[in-house]
Amino acid sequence: MNVDSRLSPRLEPLVLSLHVAALGFALAPPVFFGAVVAPAVFRVIPTHDMAGALQSPILTRLCGLTEASFVVLFGTSWLLTRETGRGMRALLTRLPILGFFAALVIRQLLIPRIDQIRTDAPGLIDNLPKGDPARVLLDHYHRLATGFFSLEIAAAAVLLVVTARLLALRRAAPPLPAPAKPAPRILDL
């Protein structure tokens, strides 16, 4: 049995549009949060405790959105790379997995632990001495969250570059020849 593994030409624009939209949701909100929202909140809010309490639910929802975007990116990448080389397919299907797990670690493991440290601390984190175990642990988890957040953004950025490369390769490829029309039959009388 010969199964055609190509994506239907009618579905390809839809899958590609979904891929690009998911790529936008995987890249733009985390970059905006990391470059604009987080620094502004820490600059405006008087204490780091209050700023962290404000950002925690925002970052949790952002990670949920990013996880969903990476799931969609995995599916669309799988469909879009059915006819490409193994290297292109490997990148476009493994990067969404990396981004998904980076966001999942932040949302499920690091944010709850940071919130717990903040609530269990004997006072404001800002007022604790530098060597206090709660402050040291909070700084450690914050660095981990920042690292995973950077990993998430890097996965989305590399996905953007590889997707652009995939589209450039498709555009540069010569079009498939049209099927030959059958020659008209001449009546032999």
Return the higher-pLDDT residue of 89 and 103: 103
Under 8 Å between Cβ of 66 and 99: yes
User: Could you read off the pLDDT of 106-157 as tens digits, one per residue?
Assistant: 999 999 999 999 888 887 888 888 888 888 999 999 999 999 999 999 999 9
User: Could you read off the pLDDT of 69-95 as tens digits, one per residue?
Assistant: 999 999 999 998 887 778 888 999 999
Q: pTM for this one?
A: 0.83
Taking alpha carbons only, the member of 103, 98, 84, 83 closest to residue 159 is: 98
User: Could you read off the pLDDT of 4-62 as tens digits, one per residue?
Assistant: 456 677 888 899 999 999 999 999 999 999 999 999 999 999 988 899 889 999 999 99
Q: Tokens at residue 89, please?
A: 């397919």
What pLDDT sits at residue 155? 96
d(CA 42, CA 83): 47
Q: What is the dihedral angle through the alpha carbons of 134, 105, 42, 160, rounded to the nearest 10 degrees?
A: 160
Q: Tokens at residue 34, please?
A: 């990391």
What pLDDT sits at residue 5? 53
**By CB neighbour count within 10 A (0-12 exposed, 13-18 middle, 19+ buried), where does 65 fall?**
middle
3-state secondary structure of 83: coil
What pLDDT sits at residue 2? 42
What pLDDT sits at residue 128? 85
